[in-house]
Structure 1
Amino acid sequence: MGATATLSEAGLVAEPGQEISCSVTIRNAGRVVDQFAIEVVGDPGAWATAEPATVNLMPGEAGTVVVRFSPPRSSDVRAGQIPFGVRVFSSEDPAGSVVEEGSIQLGAFTEVTAEVVPAKVEAGSKADFEVAVDNRGNHPVAVELSALDPEDELDFQLERNRADLAPGTAAFVRLRARPRKRFLRGQPVRHRFQVFVVADNAEPLKTEGTMVQRQLLPKWLLPALAALLVLLLALVTLWFTVLRPAVKSAAREAAQEQNQEVIKAAQDAGGAAGEAKKDAVQAKQNSEDAMKAVGLTPPPDGAPPGPRASNGVPNPAGNANGTPTDFRVAADAAVDSNVNRFAEFPYAVPDAAKTLVVTDLILQNPRGDNGTLRLLRDSGGTKTVLLEVGLANFRDLDHHWLQAWRFAPGEKIVLAVSCQTPGGGSRCTPSVSFSGRIE
């Protein structure tokens, strides 16, 4: 065994910025003369020294070394219990080196600083600042902030009035100052204010800032308005003295030329109309002569054109457009988690021997169901999709077709619904109203 070591005090109490010490008794437990190096390990090793740093001892001899600790007054060294060790290293018997352990109870100190950044802001209606609070102590602190205007001319809005700071950290709290009175024009007004920062177990801190209140109207606005007014007056003068007479003269000349052209065009049109009238009379006479030649009776004057019977009476069957119709198909579909499965509700044309022509339709989803709606054409069991929409996309939806849907005799209209989420009940109930005609 190389050495033994004994601390005079295993538990030390220190304050930041002060020095404390303890002694270590070292005994040479070996059989030869040995040199021992003393070193402090752990966090306190950075601010601890051993005096002397080495001792030479005869076998069985003991020596004393003083270990001094100087903890700095800094946030880097936290308050509380800090363990350390004193290592005694034997040069003759390294395996016989020993470490004696102890601890230091480091006291706490509070040091908080505050600053308004920037110190001065120029603004018309509001000014934004930041209050920078630094914890330079060695333990966490909670601070409270408040702002005060000695002249009571500003209103303040703090982002928060309390902040918790760990040692060596800073907090930035936004502060907005608004003047209670504003002015459009005038000289800038300086408003000085104070921000108080109160930390636990510490004297209140006070820092100051300044808001320089400017006029609301920009300085360049009035000169610009004056210049604009001068320019406007110059343009008005130019218009009435030069441009307006010239425009009137040009307009008068253009109107005269246009009148001459209109008169000439009217005269030409009158002559052409006379010739056309003569041609129309001659064409009518030729048509009547041709009808008489084949045994037909010419129509009386004013009769409408169109198909006629042999006696010359118009045939109303030539203008038939079908029978107007409108109907409604409603769905009552159960909920189905399979979005590809549809419940079908067919509609057959009442007169199966005629064609159904659909020109307008209205889709209705009054309850706000969620799912998919399709309109199908069923032609002898073969179904094709004409229209597909999501129920969630509409409550009322109109469609008017330029090219009407035509359903041949025997074909059906099928309303298909895939119901996922009913809006106001246990089933989906959309409907479609159709308008058109049957031919």
Structure 2
Amino acid sequence: MGASATLSTPTLAVQAGQQVTTTVVIRNAGDVVDHFTVDVIGPPAPWATVSPAGVNLLPNESTTVTVTFAPPRTADVTAGTVPFGVRVFAQEDPEGSVMTEGELDIAPFEAISAEVVPAKVEGASGATFEVAVDNLGNQVAPLRLSAVDPEAELSFSFRHSEVTLEPGTTAYVRLRVSPPRRFLRGQPVRRPFKVTVTPESGTPVVAEGTYVQRQLLPKWVLPVLAALLVFLLAIIALWFTVFKPAVRSAASDAAARQAAEVKQVAQAAQQDAGAAKQQAGEAKSGSDRALRAQGVDPAQPAASDPVAPPKVPSTPPPAPTAPFDRRIAADAPIDPDVRRFREVEFVVPQNKVLQVTDLILQNPRADVGSMRVVRRTPDGRTLMFEFGLGNFRDLDHHWVQPLTFASGEAIILAVSCQNAPEKGNCTPAISLSGRLEG
């Protein structure tokens, strides 16, 4: 046999961001001088060190090496118990290599961040925000969202007031802010508010936003209305002073001519009616004589055929309609070639028709690069939107006449990422709202 290894502490506990050490006693059980290499295998291997990593031992000689575990304080290191092994490799006698096993218990920690995107929105009757919540801890985080303003006048409506985030994930929760009342005229009113994200255990996180309420009437409406009033008053004055007398005289002449023509036509019609009445009497007399010659009494009523009731065309039932809400998110790696795009698509299900009324483009991390929204049909691809990521954080598009996507057509989000290396991948997204019919 080549070696033996004994772990002093098989079970270790450590906080993420700190370190813990243990020792391994290595003994040369062979008959020759041997060199032993020591390393760690298993999930903790990337953040484990061995000192010294190699030792030379005489036969029956033993020594101690120190193993240090330093898990980083990131969401990638999940809380819980993970196994590991310390492997001792004998250079002279490889078949005599050994391994001792242990467990490392990583304690959980909680780290939540929140941001209101965009930070300020203007609107006359309300505004729509998104709350970006990140779970930077190493355990699952159930969270509850609430909002309040200093004057307690605004109304808040979350699409989801409770969310559960896996470690290292982000959730975007839509928030609708409504004012207590609207006003036709006046200066804009700033209404700050705070959104609180409360975990089951730990310290709540607060994010701030501002809603700027504007007047319902645009500033150009009153000058335009004043100009229209002046124009109408001028038209009325011209009507009573110039046009009305001329119209009255022309109307009187036209009425006299029309009365004479009507009288002439009425006399001619009266003469024609008398002649037609005489001809109708003669025709009736001839018809009665013909019926009597055939043995038919003209005084008896003729049998009438039954009349079938009219057919009422049936109206086909309307196609079922369901509300539609979908978020398409990209995770594009950094690429120096601005012509290369990473694509993510949504395909309309079979036998369905998608009616899109709202489309929101989101870039909450202020990534750098290009973003395209492409429509794919059986006839080819059509570019709908193209923006530079550095030019916006949140853009809303709304249509009164919805955009229609047939079954099998696709909506594609294409991203070309030129972030700085320390910033990481680009993660813009688009949110679609509307109806799914069929």
Name the SS of the counterpart of 1:233 in structure 2. helix
**Conserved? CA contact 1:306–1:315, under 8 Å:** no
Deviates more, 1:39-48 or 1:255-264: 255-264
User: 2:75 matched to which residue of 1?
Assistant: 75
**Structure 1 residue 168, shift from structure 2 partner:** 1.5
User: 1:308 matched to which residue of 2?
Assistant: 289
Q: How does 1:2-401 map to 2 (within 5 A)?
A: 2-240=2-240, 243-244=243-244, 247=247, 304-308=285-289, 317=297, 322-324=302-304, 357-361=305-309
User: 2:322 matched to which residue of 1?
Assistant: none
TM-score by length of 2: 0.61
**Conserved? CA contact 1:309–1:315, under 8 Å:** no
Deviates more, 1:10-19 or 1:148-157: 148-157
Q: Which amino acid aligns with 2:285?
A: P
**Conserved? CA contact 1:84–1:103, under 8 Å:** yes
- Sort the Cα spacing of 1:319 and 1:29 in 2 relative to 1 into closer, same or farther, 3 A: farther
Q: Distance in 2 between matches of 1:303 and 1:83?
A: 116
Q: Which amino acid aligns with 1:222?
A: L
Q: Which amino acid aligns with 1:99?
A: M
**Structure 1 residue 237, shift from structure 2 partner:** 4.0
**Structure 1 residue 81, shift from structure 2 partner:** 0.7
Q: Distance in 2 between matches of 1:256 and 1:27?
A: 134
Q: Which amino acid aligns with 1:110?
A: E
Task: After superposition, give the CA deviation of every residue in 1:104-135 in whole Å (9 maximum; x if it has no partner).
Answer: 11111111122222222212222222222222
**Structure 1 residue 212, shift from structure 2 partner:** 1.2
Task: After superposition, give the CA deviation of every residue in 1:358-402 in whole Å (9 maximum; x if it has no partner).
Answer: 32248xxxxxxxxxxxxxxxxxxxxxxxx9999x99xxxxxxxxx
- For structure 1, the residue ranges without an aligned partner over 5 or more in a row are 284-298, 325-356, 363-386, 394-439
Task: After superposition, give the CA deviation of every residue in 1:171-205 in whole Å (9 maximum; x if it has no partner).
Answer: 33332222223322111111122222222331232
TM-score by length of 1: 0.60
Q: Distance in 1 between matches of 2:265 and 2:139?
A: 103
- The two structures, once aligned, show a CA RMSD in angstroms of 4.0
Name the SS of the counterpart of 2:307 in structure 1. strand
Name the SS of the counterpart of 2:235 in structure 1. helix
Q: Distance in 2 between matches of 1:148 and 1:261?
A: 80
Q: Which amino acid aligns with 2:163?
A: A
Name the SS of the counterpart of 1:230 in structure 2. helix
Q: Distance in 1 between matches of 2:243 and 2:94?
A: 112
**Structure 1 residue 21, shift from structure 2 partner:** 0.9
- Sort the Cα spacing of 1:88 and 1:234 in 2 relative to 1 into closer, same or farther, 3 A: farther
Task: After superposition, give the CA deviation of every residue in 1:27-47 in whole Å (9 maximum; x if it has no partner).
Answer: 233333332222211111110
Q: Distance in 1 between matches of 2:122 and 2:266?
A: 75
**Structure 1 residue 216, shift from structure 2 partner:** 2.0
Q: Distance in 2 between matches of 1:167 and 1:251?
A: 86
Q: Distance in 1 between matches of 2:203 and 2:38?
A: 43
**Conserved? CA contact 1:116–1:130, under 8 Å:** yes
**Conserved? CA contact 1:307–1:314, under 8 Å:** no
| Identical-pair percentage | 50
- Sort the Cα spacing of 1:153 and 1:314 in 2 relative to 1 into closer, same or farther, 3 A: same
**Structure 1 residue 101, shift from structure 2 partner:** 1.0
**Conserved? CA contact 1:120–1:211, under 8 Å:** yes
Q: Distance in 2 between matches of 1:141 and 1:71?
A: 20
- Sort the Cα spacing of 1:216 and 1:261 in 2 relative to 1 into closer, same or farther, 3 A: closer
Task: After superposition, give the CA deviation of every residue in 1:418-437 in whole Å (9 maximum; x if it has no partner).
Answer: xxxxxxxxxxxxxxxxxxxx
**Conserved? CA contact 1:153–1:191, under 8 Å:** no
Q: Distance in 2 between matches of 1:319 and 1:87?
A: 125
Q: Distance in 2 between matches of 1:263 and 1:152?
A: 79
- Sort the Cα spacing of 1:241 and 1:66 in 2 relative to 1 into closer, same or farther, 3 A: same
Q: Which amino acid aligns with 1:183?
A: F
**Structure 1 residue 240, shift from structure 2 partner:** 4.5
- Sort the Cα spacing of 1:259 and 1:44 in 2 relative to 1 into closer, same or farther, 3 A: same
Name the SS of the counterpart of 1:114 in structure 2. strand
Bigger radius of gyration: 1
- Sort the Cα spacing of 1:250 and 1:95 in 2 relative to 1 into closer, same or farther, 3 A: farther
Q: Which amino acid aligns with 1:323?
A: A
Q: Distance in 2 between matches of 1:317 and 1:206?
A: 102
Q: Distance in 1 between matches of 2:224 and 2:206?
A: 44
Q: Distance in 1 between matches of 2:73 and 2:164?
A: 21
Q: Which amino acid aligns with 1:21?
A: T
- Sort the Cα spacing of 1:150 and 1:59 in 2 relative to 1 into closer, same or farther, 3 A: same
Name the SS of the counterpart of 1:102 in structure 2. strand
**Structure 1 residue 163, shift from structure 2 partner:** 2.4
User: 1:292 matched to which residue of 2?
Assistant: none
**Structure 1 residue 82, shift from structure 2 partner:** 1.2
Name the SS of the counterpart of 1:308 in structure 2. helix
**Structure 1 residue 323, shift from structure 2 partner:** 3.3
**Conserved? CA contact 1:308–1:315, under 8 Å:** no
- Sort the Cα spacing of 1:315 and 1:138 in 2 relative to 1 into closer, same or farther, 3 A: same
- For structure 2, the residue ranges without an aligned partner over 5 or more in a row are 318-438
Name the SS of the counterpart of 2:73 in structure 1. coil
**Structure 1 residue 256, shift from structure 2 partner:** 6.8
Deviates more, 1:15-24 or 1:230-239: 230-239
Task: After superposition, give the CA deviation of every residue in 1:337-360 in whole Å (9 maximum; x if it has no partner).
Answer: xxxxxxxxxxxxxxxxxxxx4322
